[in-house]
């Protein structure tokens, strides 16, 4: 059992008040809050160890370089990647996906080829593929999902063709909460020698990720979704693809030799890490992953499922509530509508109770179009949330209904 009161002491932002009421933070799908150990790790780097890495011969640079590369090893262990050189530091999931779409696309996608995504993707896993398809004159195919938010696996199998060059699928839907059967998808894709990219932005904080067990070819995630700072992310890629792909950006660090006639590129992972890296936030990411490991991702998942079940049960007791996304396997995300009240109007009132929820299309406009709705109210939970906080949300929803009816 998790000691939630003790855990909450690690997150000073949760101890504040909003509008004179205790702050209830249910916007974890957008970004998670940061424990003191993460804040301290970033602060310590800038107060005691700030220096550029890899290129310096002086003491401070060498110390920072060791710390940076140790953090890469921590990430490797966290997702059980085979090699540290398969771990690329980026600014986040969005940049990781853009890197693969651009670099893989230039190497492997030609006119008439096909890229496959799902209908529940975040814009970050739609737009980069649209861009490379337009550039390479390829075709974007979309896997549909059922009314409950589960992918149509039969349709997926039927969409695969000899022209399919890559499949990009979200691990967990940021709107529906659906946990997709990515291991099954990867297995079927590999039967046709098709690589798979997994958008793990919403998956990394809620479940154990073992890229070797999944056998995914690329896995992307953002630090700020897993209690680390913003502006840092990870791309895991299988060595065989990363070696074959051209650099995504040019500049310092990613080079081996430069002349005005020709440039040769650095080895992995540095080939894809042009410029001065975000060292401080990499160390913050390491601290966050270690914090999660200390609590135990299995413990986190069990407790968050309790919160999801409780919230779902309490919401369904309210007349006029429509939950969008009722898949059998869900992460701790519930998106809903209250009668015919616009999500923005409802969210504004809920906010006055000190409750932070997300309203709108959640960067998933095509999904909203499928449901023919303008958006939803989304409550996304983390292991520092409580059932008592959910009760405050329920109370706020009753007030919304009272004001609009």
Q: DSSP states of 232-286 as a string?
A: -EEEEE-HHHHHHSPPSS-SSSSEEEE-SS-EEEPPTTGGG--SS--HHHHHHHH
Task: Dihedral sign for Cα 29, 33, 35, 38, please.
Answer: positive
- Do 165 and 108 meet the contact criterion of CB atoms below 8 Å apart? yes
| CB neighbour list of residue 297: distance below 8 Å, 6 or more residues apart | 207, 208
Output the CA torsion 166→171→177→179 (10° steps).
110
Separation between Cα atoms, residue 402 and residue 122, nearest integer Å:
33
Separation between Cα atoms, residue 17 and residue 322, nearest integer Å:
30
Backbone phi and psi for residue 22, each to the nearest 5 degrees, phi listed first: -55, 135
Output the CA torsion 349→351→354→356 (10° steps).
140
- Catalytic-labelled residue, pool 133, 216, 220, 363: 363
Separation between Cα atoms, residue 42 and residue 190, nearest integer Å:
40
Please report, for residues 10, 14, 323, 355, the alpha-carbon distance to residue 5 in angstroms, rounded to integers and kept in the order given: 9, 11, 29, 18
In whole angstroms, how large is the CA radius of gyration of the chain? 22
Whether residue 118 has a cis bond before it, omega within 30° of 0: no
Separation between Cα atoms, residue 90 and residue 106, nearest integer Å:
19
Residue 363 bears catalytic tag: yes
Question: Which tokens sit at 308?
Answer: 């999801």
Separation between Cα atoms, residue 131 and residue 135, nearest integer Å:
6
Backbone phi and psi for residue 192, each to the nearest 5 degrees, phi listed first: -110, 15
Mapping DSSP to helix (H, G, I), strand (E, B) and coil, where does residue 170 land? Answer: strand
- Do 378 and 357 meet the contact criterion of CB atoms below 8 Å apart? yes
Residues annotated as part of the active site: 363
């Amino acid at each position: 059992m998790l000691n939630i009161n003790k855990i909450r002491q690690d997150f000073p932002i949760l101890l504040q008040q909003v509008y004179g009421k205790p702050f209830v933070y249910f916007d974890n799908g957008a970004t998670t809050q940061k424990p003191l150990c993460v804040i301290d790790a970033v602060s310590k780097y800038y107060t005691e160890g700030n220096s550029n890495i890899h290129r310096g011969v002086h003491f401070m640079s060498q110390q920072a370089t060791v710390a940076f590369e140790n953090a890469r090893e921590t990430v490797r262990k966290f997702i059980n990647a085979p090699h540290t050189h398969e771990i690329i530091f980026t600014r986040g999931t969005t940049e990781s996906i853009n890197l693969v779409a651009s670099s893989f696309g230039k190497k492997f996608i030609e006119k008439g080829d096909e890229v496959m995504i799902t209908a529940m993707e975040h814009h970050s896993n739609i737009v980069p593929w649209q861009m490379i398809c337009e550039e390479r004159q390829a075709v974007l195919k979309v896997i549909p999902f059922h009314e409950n938010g589960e992918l149509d696996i039969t349709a997926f199998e039927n969409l695969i063709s000899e022209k399919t060059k890559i499949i990009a699928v979200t691990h967990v839907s940021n709107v529906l909460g659906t946990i997709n059967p990515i291991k099954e998808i990867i297995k079927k894709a590999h039967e046709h020698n098709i690589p798979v990219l997994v958008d793990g932005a919403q998956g990394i904080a809620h479940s154990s990720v073992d890229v070797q067990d999944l056998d995914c070819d690329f896995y992307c995630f953002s630090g700020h979704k897993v209690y680390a700072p913003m502006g840092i992310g990870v791309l895991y890629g299988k060595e065989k693809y990363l070696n074959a792909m051209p650099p995504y950006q040019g500049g310092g660090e990613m080079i081996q030799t430069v002349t005005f006639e020709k440039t040769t590129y650095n080895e992995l992972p540095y080939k894809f890490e042009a410029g001065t890296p975000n060292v401080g936030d990499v160390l913050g990411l390491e601290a966050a992953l270690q914090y999660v490991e200390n609590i135990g991702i299995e413990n986190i998942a069990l407790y968050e499922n309790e919160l999801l079940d409780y919230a779902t049960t309490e919401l369904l007791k309210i007349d006029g509530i429509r939950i969008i996304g009722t898949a059998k396997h869900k992460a701790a995300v519930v998106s809903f509508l209250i009668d015919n009240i616009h999500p923005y109007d409802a969210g504004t009132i809920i906010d006055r109770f000190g409750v932070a929820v997300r309203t709108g299309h959640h960067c998933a406009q095509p999904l909203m179009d499928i449901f023919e709705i303008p958006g939803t109210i989304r409550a996304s939970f983390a292991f520092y949330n409580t059932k008592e906080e959910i009760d405050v949300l329920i109370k706020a929803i009753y007030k919304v209904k009272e004001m609009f009816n």
